Homo-oligomer: A and B are copies of this chain.
């Protein structure tokens, strides 16, 4: 939560970074206590290399979404140390990343007009921050602040390709009215943005390819109407982790967004975009008890550590609150975290399977592979990197929080 004054920051004062505590990674020592978030930097690198290599074929730039990891250390892996274009889900992410040299930022959540003063402050500080809108009311607010401050705010128009959230239909003439409202007020209609959120429900490779093509074609349709009406709208931004890994053609697209892919999770594995072996983040928990009559192992990792996300419950294979893995090894194919209270997790054999409960005495540490990496990571303040040989922590990567 951030309290802001009504007064925009004076020009040249630098980005208004509201960070509390360090956001920089730091060395760690000692044996961490559970529950904690464990990250595998090699798998993060591998996941990033895979998507970059895929997009390199068509030469389409990647604008990664930092909302999943919310970590400067992960962003450094995304860009080989050099700040590049990013997507953010909160102005707090924009402010912290701006304070660390990121100057090309897309704020990809529909704009609440009350937040425009922070947008203007970042632009005055030299950040090319773009906002997202899908209504004339928002365009009027963006135009008004551009007129009032003399700072031209660029906006993308959100287009909806699959009915899952915000945005205009690709052929909605309101897009032209929005662009006109922006430009008459000294703001900028910079392009269109689509997010094929419906792709999270795909069940086959074919459906994924179709979802990606639908996203692309809807984007091109919308931008053609705007260009025919005389607006330059150079940006055609599409993406989601499933479609970014599935698009067969990106003609007309100027950038692809994806966020979850740095870590992946069991929802993505269920869609078929990755395998369980690609999951780069997990929650380490400790066994604190057993209920043999009920076939339960009880751990100190409840929903406070994993989140309440049950995203695989609508997929063909329900993974509960997560698959259980050895601390330093592979997962148990049929051992799940099936229930959670605030600080307790219940591990059981997968219902209907022929698995047997492993012998995990009190004090044993295991890892919970997350259902939804964005939600699980959000329950924690930092990631730990461990030395695989000793189990000791070697690095701490802080996460951003708040709005």
Contacts and interface: CB of A to CB of B under 8 A. Distances in A.
Nearest to A2: B33
B109 A343 contact: yes
Q: Determine the interface band of chain A, counting residues with CB < 8 A from chain B.
A: 35 or more
A110 interface: yes
Nearest to A165: B344
A363 interface: yes
B288 A1 contact: no
Determine chain A's interface SS by DSSP, over half rule. loop
16 contacts: A3-B30, A3-B31, A33-B91, A33-B112, A33-B114, A34-B112, A109-B343, A109-B344, A110-B289, A113-B363, A135-B289, A135-B290, A160-B291, A165-B341, A307-B308, A308-B308
B402 A381 contact: yes
Copies in the assembly, this chain: 2
Given A137-B362, A401-B381, A110 B35 contact: no
Contacts of A378: 304, 379
A343 B89 contact: yes
A309 B393 CA distance: 31
A37 interface: yes
A197 to B, nearest CB: 7
A354 interface: no
A21 interface: yes
Contact of A29 (B3, B32, B91): B3
Nearest to A379: B378
Given A1-B382, A3-B32, A381-B402, 18 more contacts: A1-B396, A2-B33, A4-B33, A6-B30, A34-B112, A89-B343, A109-B288, A109-B300, A109-B344, A110-B289, A110-B298, A112-B300, A112-B362, A160-B291, A166-B291, A303-B375, A308-B310, A342-B375
